[in-house]
Amino acid sequence: MEQNKTLLNLENVWKIYKMGEVEVPALKGITVTIKKGDFIAIVGASGSGKSTMMNLIGCLDIPSKGRILLKDRDISQLNESDLASFRGKTIGFIFQQYNLIPTMSAFENVMLPLEFQEIDDKIASKRSMDILRFVGLEDKIDYLPTQLSGGQQQRVSIARCLATDPEIILADEPTGALDSVTGKNIIEMLYKFWEDEGKTIIMVTHDQNLAKYAHTIIELKDGEIIKTQNNQVN
Amino acid sequence: MKIYKCLKIAINMVTHSKLRSWLTIIGIVIGVASVIALVSIGNGMEAGINDELSGLGGNIITITPGYSKASGMGMPGHGPSSGSESVSESDAILGRNDVQALKSIPELAYIDTNIKGNAYVYYFGKSAQLTVTGVDQSVWSYVTTLEILEGRLLDPADQNVVVIGYDLSRNYFDEPIGINKILTIEEKSFKVVGILDEGSGMSSNGLSIYMPLQSAYQVLDDKTKNEYDSITVIAKDSADIDSVVAKIEKKLDIVRHVNTIDDKDYTVISMKQILEQISSVTGMITLFLGFVAGISLLVGAVGIANTMFTAVLEKTKEIGIMKAIGARNRDIMLIFLFNSGLVGIIGGIIGVFFGIVASYLLGGGLMSTPRGDSIETVVSLEIVVLALFISVVVGISAGMIPAYQGSKLKPVDALRYE
Ligand SMILES: Nc1ncnc2c1ncn2[C@@H]1O[C@H](COP(=O)(O)OP(=O)(O)O)[C@@H](O)[C@H]1O
Ligand SMILES: [Mg+2]
């Protein structure tokens, strides 16, 4: 596994939201380098800019100032449609609110990103089945999100994220809506995946216990990085 | 994303918002159904006219004295339409010379000379002024489109007999008039030999009285022998009506010394021309009905647009999710276009079904002519295909702007939407 290869560069990134006349700086000059195989936890108080940073890393938004280089490509230079397919292939999202499509079954939800990538149906459905088995939901594939518990929904969303075999997994408070036991299960699932597959994971969390799984912890305050701490991986 | 996958997602969206989809579909159903039903009435009217054309024989040509330059619609036997420049009937007459000229035209099969006027009719102590038509009984039965209900038409040997209209026989006088009853017309006695069918013929009047020409000259004493109010001729089946009409005009121009249009003092009109004129009127009616129905289709389209705007708003978060997991703008656009197109085509199919049902019901006697016949309705394949095509186009174009808006949403903003 070629570690140490730079995957993502944030160079003096600013994000300023305009609320009418008022300008809200959510990020103030963030500079981070993320290497392949990193497991990073972003911590900080509510409103400190964690989600804003995740959205920028995930190419869901573009910075007001500064540059973001994803695999040496400046994301501000890509057009909508290139950005969308680049994002689809490179990045997998896990959201706090699961964000499943409510009218689609677990299986269909997992299939969806593969369908956007126009992957052959046979391959895609085998892949989806395998991943759903990995997250322990092989007997729930035809359930709609509303028929699943929160933990099960989050596992579907993890399956959807992993289905495309993304290089970077972005998880914004993935356990925020779950009880601590379920939350721990979810994190361990991610951790196992990180260990086995050598994926890059960036996770936002409030929970210090969960942050411990990461080997780098970045702490944000008022849009600035106030601490970067390297964990001895246990 | 492959196009059929976008369609699949669109179908998923339509089936998961059933109530709203159906309400929108109803709008299109009403529009399409009314287009089909109303246009089928129009088409039915045209088909009915064409039916009458073959029934009446388009090969009937009527010559009347007088001429109007603004010659519009005219009915056989009613004289020319009363335009400002018409030559009054008392100036112009049709006579033996005209008949001779007509006889020299080989394409003509029969020539029936008619006079028409009002006379007092007595029956069972009551009297009334009615229209009496004198016909050449030797050819009348070949020329007329009237149909007999009881008795018979006039025979060449007949004298002092009449054929009367249905209404006159049934309920005009206190007593019904049956076959072999005697009517007194201007102090002469006539035996009823035939009663016409109700509503037979195109211009039939239920109160008409038909009698041999020679008897009519006696009854209508202001008429001069060998002068006619109209001449009805029948062209041979093989003949081209328009050229026969031209030939008749050429011959009559010669015998009547007509050199310019200003001299013209007679009118030749064929049933074919009349039916063509009626056809063009019914064509316009069909167009108008279609237009009216089209407006309701437009209202349906506005309904689709409205629903799609709502759907895009409601699906904002899902659009954000899809974009986050790799949907391109084009994919989102297609999904919503398919959604609105589906609503259009489903509405179209159901609308065609109800339109056909409605047109059968209308044709089945819910609607009828003043004469009591039911109006035939005709649903043509063309209108069905057209209606389906239009409903898809309407659906897709109504979804265009909402779909575009949805596709342009920024992923972050869409994901934040609750
Ligand atoms: N779309 C937005 N428009 C305006 N202000 C925003 C928007 N998103 C976030 N903010 C503001 O930016 C700051 C950082 O927000 P966020 O990144 O969501 O924080 P966190 O995820 O750490 O709680 C907050 O003050 C928040 O109110
Ligand atoms: Mg947040």
pLDDT tens profile B321-378 = 999 999 999 999 999 999 999 988 999 999 999 999 988 888 765 555 555 556 678 8
Mean pLDDT calculated for residue range B93-101: 90
Domain ranges within chain B, ordered by starting residue: 3-53+276-416, 110-233
Chain B contact probe: residue of A101, A104, A158 with most B CBs at under 10 A: A101
- Judge whether A113 is closer than 8 Å to chain B, CB to CB: yes
Q: Ligand 1 test: best mutation among A14, A15, A24, most atoms within 8 Å of CB?
A: A24
Mean pLDDT calculated for residue range B57-71: 78
Q: For tokens 């149909």, what's the residue? A: B147
pLDDT interval class at B78 (50, 70, 90): very low
Nearest to B331 among A58, A104, A116 (CB): A116
Contact B271, B59 (CB under 8 A): yes
Domains of chain A: 37-59+84-230 (3.40.50.300)
Higher pLDDT, A107 or B261: A107
Amino acid at B36: I
pLDDT at B75 over 50: no
pLDDT interval class at B70 (50, 70, 90): low
Residues, chain B: 418
pLDDT at B118 over 60: yes
Distance separating alpha carbons of residues B249 and B230, to the nearest angstrom: 15
C-alpha B234 chain-centroid distance: 24
Higher pLDDT, A170 or B175: A170
Helix ranges (H only) for B94-240 are 96-103, 140-143, 166-167, 213-219
Instruction: Tell me which residues have their CB closer than 6 angstroms to ligand 1.
Output: A 17, 19, 24, 26, 44, 46-52; B 416
C-alpha B43 chain-centroid distance: 8
Q: What is the DSSP letter of B374?
A: B
Closest CA–CA distance from residue B406 to any residue of chain A (Å)? 14
Q: Ligand 1 test: best mutation among A30, A48, A50, A52, most atoms within 8 Å of CB?
A: A52
In ligand 1, the atom with minimum distance to the C-alpha of A52 is 17
- B5-14, B137-146, B275-284: segment of lowest average pLDDT: B275-284
pLDDT at B201 over 80: no
Q: Which residues of B touch A (CB under 8 A)?
A: 1-2, 5, 12-13, 16, 317-318, 320-331, 410-412, 415
pLDDT of residue B366: 55
| Tens of pLDDT, residues A191-221 | 988 988 889 999 999 888 889 899 899 999 9
In ligand 1, the atom with minimum distance to the C-alpha of A220 is 22
pLDDT at B53 over 80: no
pTM of the model: 0.73
Q: Which of A163, A202, A181, A183 is nearest to A58 (CA)?
A: A202
Contact B143, B110 (CB under 8 A): yes
Encoded tokens for B34: 């009314």
Q: At what angle do helices B18-56 and B381-408 cross, to 10 degrees?
A: 150
pLDDT of residue B349: 94
Q: For tokens 């940073």, what's the residue? A: A53
Task: Spell out which residues have Cβ within 5 A of ligand 2, the ion.
Answer: A 51
Residue by residue, DSSP assigns B24-63 as HHHHHHHHHHHHHHHHHHHHHHHHHHHHHHHHH-TTEEEE
Contact B15, B346 (CB under 8 A): no
| Tens of pLDDT, residues A67-109 | 999 988 898 888 888 888 888 889 999 999 999 999 999 999 9
How many Cα atoms occupy the beta-carbon half-sphere of B236 within 13 Å?
Answer: 8
Detail the DSSP E strand segments found in B50-125: 60-65, 94-95, 108-123
